[in-house]
């Protein structure tokens, strides 16, 4: 038993040490990142630039591109690109090809994403789903389809897709959840196909972080409430709206501000010799929501309701169900 324990300890230590080994010649690697205007994408672009990699930073606005260019070294090239517009994706590809010449692209990071969902599934429209999927899922697919040949050309490389805890555990942000479950499926399928070219696929699954990602959602929900049919308003009630907004604000205020945890994972997926296939980030995701995702739905609901009662959080109830 003693020798078995020693063997397991040695295996565990070797496993952990393997993650510390980096690939060589980072200064010769080229990486394209989408969604670098702010948040994790911008932080990653700055991090990789400091590590010596050549970065192509896809930005939605000219202002963000100019700011990022000024902040980083000459190794970084900011490119204006909207992942929902095929013409801009093609133009970005043309610019990257021109810059690379005969050199391959080492990595692609599909980071661009939006959260545009309103409170209840019933309050969403088909357009809400299309706008969120257009960026989070179809933007990821289209960018990958265009840039994959540049990675495959080098006979090795990395694709990093930014998903979410909500790509493993469904909640009431229905369009966003659907988009991230799609990213998970796309990543898994792509991983199996890309391996024959020695290209690996890595999925980033952050928990809840207090970024500016949800800015403006409260206003959107208030505006949507005004446009709902009278019978829907009566069935839900304005108290339901206010309680849900308050609960979301409380939840957001308690979310993690350790943004480096996510950036560390993204950078590790690109620069480690032995990267992970999945990076689950944040204690909430690692120790609660992802384990919870393996349980039956009814059991998930029971645990969530029990947890809310323990914390004395009243779950918003539509007026029609209270009656």
CA gap 270, 274 in Å, rounded: 10
Neighbours of 247 (CB within 10 A): 16
Is residue 96 within 8 Å of 33, Cβ to Cβ? no
Residue 215, C-beta contacts closer than 8 angstroms, at least 6 positions apart = none
pLDDT at res. 84 = 97
Q: Measuring CA to CA, which residue among 108, 97, 120 is closest to residue 224?
A: 120
* pLDDT tens digit sequence for 92-140: 999 999 999 999 999 999 999 988 766 788 888 899 899 999 999 999 9
Here the tokens at position 307 are 């947890």
pLDDT at res. 51 = 96
pLDDT at res. 116 = 74
Cα angle 77-79-85, degrees, rounded to a multiple of 5: 160
- Domain 19-322 - what CATH class? alpha beta
Residues forming beta bridges with residue 206, ordered by sequence position: 281
Neighbours of 12 (CB within 10 A): 10
Active-site option among 30, 176, 240, 279: 176
Per run of 10 residues, the mean pLDDT along the chain (length 323 residues) is: 70 63 89 95 96 96 94 95 97 96 96 82 89 96 98 95 93 87 97 96 92 73 87 87 80 80 96 95 91 91 83 76 67
294 is catalytic: no
User: Would you give the end-to-end CA distance of the chain in angstroms?
Assistant: 62
Cβ-in-10-Å burial (0-12, 13-18, 19+) of 65 comes to buried
| Phi/psi at 309 (5° precision) | -65, -40
The 3-state secondary structure of 78-96 reads EEECCCCCHHHHHHHHHHH
pLDDT at res. 17 = 61
| Phi/psi at 73 (5° precision) | -80, 180
Q: Measuring CA to CA, which residue among 313, 30, 263 is closest to residue 156?
A: 30
Q: Measuring CA to CA, which residue among 163, 42, 148 is closest to residue 89?
A: 148
Cβ-in-10-Å burial (0-12, 13-18, 19+) of 131 comes to middle
Residues forming beta bridges with residue 30, ordered by sequence position: 54
Residues forming beta bridges with residue 76, ordered by sequence position: 55
CA gap 231, 250 in Å, rounded: 29
Q: For tokens 């809310």, what's the residue?
A: 308
Q: Measuring CA to CA, which residue among 107, 71, 110, 122 is closest to residue 224?
A: 122
CA gap 177, 75 in Å, rounded: 36
């Amino acid at each position: 038993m003693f020798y078995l324990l020693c063997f397991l300890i040695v295996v565990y230590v070797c496993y952990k040490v393997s993650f510390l080994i980096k690939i060589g010649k980072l200064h010769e690697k080229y990486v394209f990142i989408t969604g670098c205007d702010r948040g994790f994408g911008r932080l990653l672009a700055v991090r990789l630039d400091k590590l010596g990699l050549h970065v192509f930073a896809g930005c939605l606005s000219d202002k963000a591109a100019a700011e990022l260019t000024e902040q980083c070294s000459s190794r970084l090239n900011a490119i204006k690109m909207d992942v929902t517009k095929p013409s801009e994706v093609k133009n970005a590809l043309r610019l990257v090809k021109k810059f690379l010449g005969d050199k391959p692209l080492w990595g692609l990071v599909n980071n661009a994403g939006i959260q545009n969902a309103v409170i209840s599934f019933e309050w969403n429209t088909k357009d809400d789903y299309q706008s969120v999927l257009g960026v989070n899922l179809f933007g990821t697919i289209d960018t990958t389809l265009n840039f994959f040949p540049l990675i495959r050309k080098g006979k090795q490389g990395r694709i990093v897709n930014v998903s979410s805890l909500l790509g493993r555990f469904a909640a009431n942000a229905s369009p966003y959840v659907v988009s991230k479950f799609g990213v998970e499926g796309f990543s898994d399928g792509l991983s199996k196909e890309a391996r024959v070219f020695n290209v690996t696929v890595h999925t980033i699954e952050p928990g809840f972080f207090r970024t500016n990602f949800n800015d403006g959602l409260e206003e959107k929900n208030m505006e949507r409430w005004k446009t709902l049919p009278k019978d829907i308003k009566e069935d839900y009630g304005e108290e339901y709206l206010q309680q849900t907004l308050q609960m979301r604000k409380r939840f957001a205020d308690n979310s993690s501000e350790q943004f480096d945890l996510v950036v560390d994972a993204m950078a590790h997926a690109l620069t480690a010799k032995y990267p992970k296939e999945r990076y689950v980030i944040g204690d909430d995701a690692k120790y609660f929501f992802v384990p919870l995702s393996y349980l039956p739905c009814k059991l998930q609901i029971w645990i969530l309701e029990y947890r809310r009662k323990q914390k004395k959080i009243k779950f918003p109830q539509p007026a029609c169900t209270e009656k």
